[in-house]
Amino acid sequence: MRHLSISFALLTLVISAAAASKPHVLSLGKPTPVKLLLGPSEEKTVTITVRPLYLDTKLKEYTTGPAHDITDRVFVIRRAYRVNDSLPNESAARWLWQRGGWLLVDRTTGRITQIRLPDFDPYYSDVSWYRDYAAYCGVADDGERVSAIVAQITAKKPIYKKQLDKLDGELPDAVCQAPLWQRNPIRVTFTPLGGEKLSVDVTGRFADVTPDTPAEE
């Protein structure tokens, strides 16, 4: 009986180890075009593409836009979701698609984590990724102050932030175009609409304004 108990315990450990080491399967489903409402009165629409994100064949999230590989193990992708816009006196649900924040996805563990980007606005901010850096125009809580921001996934605060002109416009492209990255040196250029270009050099966990760019006040 003792040998039988030991054999059973060893078998249990082997099965548990095999189950723990079993790799997860992450996959993106078929892209589907949907309508996104824009404007203060939601009178304008644009078409975006959403794709389901599956973990071991189970639906975990909806996503939109391309994924960005940070390493061979993790990537980021933007979240999409639906909200019910029906009124209390309406019996049928009225689902509207919305663009959300960004997700950090680990291919090995299957873990999906929402990324907190400072002053990121799902409506206005157009994020441009390089390595684990995110460059975008952020909008403060008051809805008026707009800033050029460089954030890093591992840092709680922006590694660079400079206030730009006030928000002016209704469409998402009313703030600035998607920032452009370059390497050697690592540099990102912001192009605010109606404003001057702003170039920022990024070194490690810190970012410095390039010599030909006015320093932040």
Return per-residue pLDDT of the chain as tens, 217 residues. Answer: 545 455 545 455 545 544 555 678 889 999 999 998 876 667 788 899 999 999 998 999 999 999 999 999 999 999 999 999 899 999 898 899 999 999 999 998 899 999 999 999 988 899 999 999 999 999 887 767 889 999 999 888 999 999 887 655 554 555 788 899 999 899 999 988 777 889 999 987 666 655 554 444 3
- Cis bond before residue 122 (omega within 30° of 0): no
pLDDT of residue 193: 78
Q: Model's pTM, two decimal places?
A: 0.79
Q: For residues 8 and 102, what is the distance between their CA atoms, to the nearest angstrom?
A: 45
CA atoms within 13 A on the CB side of 175: 27
- Sequence ranges of the domains in the chain: 24-85+94-115, 117-217
Other CB atoms within 10 A of residue 98 CB:
15
CA distance 147 to 50: 28
The tokens for 125 are 């901010």
Q: What is the CA radius of gyration of the chain?
A: 22
What pLDDT does 209 receive? 59
Q: Return the pLDDT at 166.
A: 64
Structure confidence at residue 116 (pLDDT): 92
Q: What is the pLDDT of residue 70?
A: 93
What torsion, rounded to 10 degrees, do the Cα atoms 53, 56, 57, 60 define? -40
3-state secondary structure of 142: coil
pLDDT of 214: 45
CA of 150: how far to CAs of 23, 162, 179, in Å? 34, 9, 10
pLDDT for position 192 = 83
